[in-house]
């Protein structure tokens, strides 16, 4: 039995245009929540590929990550039926970049209700609807101009070169 603690590796696209940020409204166990286009790193993909994929799936727009905004950790607990607590720790890699064109006919990912553009003040005023406390922090870091070069990230060829994971 493997008792090693493993945080969930996630990526997020922090997309700003003319002072507004592109968010998604998604169904979660806590109800309808706001979030950055974000999701889990899948086996065999780089962080930047995961971010571009998640942005496309959740916004129906191409997105090209061009800089790292930051690396973040958060933790949440959720009570399940029977009083059992689920405990999650997320390790988020947040990227800024270039929003591309919308893909005609592209459906939004399951659970995504809609996309919306919000001002920083609107985002701050809606904190009770945020799926993650990192939504606000990533936006504020972006507003402050926090940018890191992409060459600080390295994905070894073995990530994609070993074939599918075995169970």
Give me the pLDDT at residue 11, please: 98
Q: Please report, for residues 54, 78, 84, the alpha-carbon distance to residue 81 in angstroms, rounded to integers and kept in the order given.
A: 30, 10, 7
Give me the pLDDT at residue 154, please: 93
Question: Nearest-CA neighbor of 143 among 5, 21, 28?
Answer: 21
Counting runs of H as helices and runs of E as strands, what totals does the chain give? 4, 8
Residue 4: pLDDT band (50, 70, 90) is confident
What's this model's pTM, rounded to 2 decimal places? 0.90
Class of domain 8-143: alpha beta
Question: Nearest-CA neighbor of 116 among 48, 36, 56, 42?
Answer: 36
What mean pLDDT is predicted for residues 42-70? 97
SS3 79: strand
Whether residue 14 is predicted with pLDDT greater than 80 in this model: the reply is yes
| Whole-angstrom distance, CA of residue 12 vs CA of residue 8 | 13
Tell me the domain boundaries of the chain: 8-143
Whether residue 41 is predicted with pLDDT greater than 80 in this model: the reply is yes
């Amino acid at each position: 039995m493997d008792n090693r603690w493993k945080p969930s590796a996630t990526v997020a696209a922090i997309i700003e245009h003319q002072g507004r940020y592109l968010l998604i409204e998604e169904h979660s166990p806590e109800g309808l929540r706001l979030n950055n286009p974000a999701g889990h790193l899948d086996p065999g993909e780089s962080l930047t590929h995961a971010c571009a994929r998640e942005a496309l799936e959740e916004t129906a727009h191409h997105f090209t990550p061009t800089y790292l905004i930051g690396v973040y950790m958060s933790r949440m607990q959720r009570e399940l039926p029977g009083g059992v607590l689920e405990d999650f720790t997320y390790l988020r890699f947040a990227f800024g970049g270039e929003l591309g064109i919308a893909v005609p006919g592209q459906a939004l990912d399951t659970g995504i209700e809609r996309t919306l553009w919000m001002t920083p003040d609107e985002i701050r005023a809606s904190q009770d609807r945020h799926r993650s406390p990192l939504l606000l922090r990533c936006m504020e870091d972006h507003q402050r101009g926090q940018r890191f070069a992409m060459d600080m990230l390295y994905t070894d060829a073995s990530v994609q070169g070993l074939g599918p994971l075995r169970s």
